[in-house]
């Protein structure tokens, strides 16, 4: 059981990197979640996003992954979130969880992305095609 990757970064994300970080011969299942920038939100066209994060976001992400890992249901956990300017189709977040069985991998992967979005201070600034912008995730 270990958290192999927990980062916030400005560079493009790699699904292969996260997959490699959670691969293990003890794992019978690997669950991946890949969050991408979509071209619409609430019926409005999106041009791009700018993500920013609190300086402690990486440490909080690691602490979250370690807490979920501490239950002993996983083999490895990897999570990376991007900050900076992202275009439509760019990867915003990649979460990987390996476990002995698929049920645990799915459960922990979902819990990780849900809690990451709810508790880690990462903010999204959406730029819409009509010229309006919106901040998401501010306290």
Whether residue 139 is contained in a domain is answered as: no
Residues 6+ apart with CB under 8 A from 29: 98, 99, 100, 101, 102, 103, 104, 105, 106
> CB count, 10 Å around CB of 125?
16
Whether residue 136 is contained in a domain is answered as: no
Whether residue 134 is contained in a domain is answered as: no
Whether residue 137 is contained in a domain is answered as: no
Whether residue 92 is contained in a domain is answered as: yes
Q: Which domain holds residue 53?
A: 2-129
Whether residue 138 is contained in a domain is answered as: no
Q: Is the pLDDT of residue 31 over 90?
A: yes
Whether residue 97 is contained in a domain is answered as: yes
Whether residue 117 is contained in a domain is answered as: yes
Q: Give residue 1's pLDDT.
A: 64
CA 64 → CA 9, 78, 91, 104, 112, distances in Å?
17, 11, 21, 16, 7
Q: State the CATH number of the domain containing residue 51.
A: 3.90.1170.40
Domain count, the chain: 1
Q: What is the pLDDT of residues 41-100, one digit of tens each?
A: 989 999 999 999 999 999 999 999 999 988 787 789 999 999 999 999 999 999 999 999
Q: Is the pLDDT of residue 26 over 90?
A: yes
């Amino acid at each position: 059981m270990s958290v192999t990757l927990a980062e916030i970064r400005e560079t493009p994300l790699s699904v292969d990197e996260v997959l490699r970080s959670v691969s293990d011969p003890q794992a019978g299942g690997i669950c991946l979640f890949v969050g991408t920038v979509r071209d619409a939100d609430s019926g409005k066209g999106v041009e791009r996003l700018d993500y920013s994060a609190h300086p402690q976001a990486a440490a909080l992400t690691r602490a979250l992954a370690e807490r979920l890992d501490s239950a002993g249901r996983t083999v490895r956990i990897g999570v990376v979130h991007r900050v900076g300017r992202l275009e439509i189709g760019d990867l915003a977040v990649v979460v990987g969880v390996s476990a002995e069985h698929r049920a645990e991998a799915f459960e922990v992967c979902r819990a990780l992305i849900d809690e990451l979005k709810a508790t880690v201070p990462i903010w999204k600034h959406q730029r819409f095609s009509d010229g309006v912008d919106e901040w998401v995730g501010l306290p």
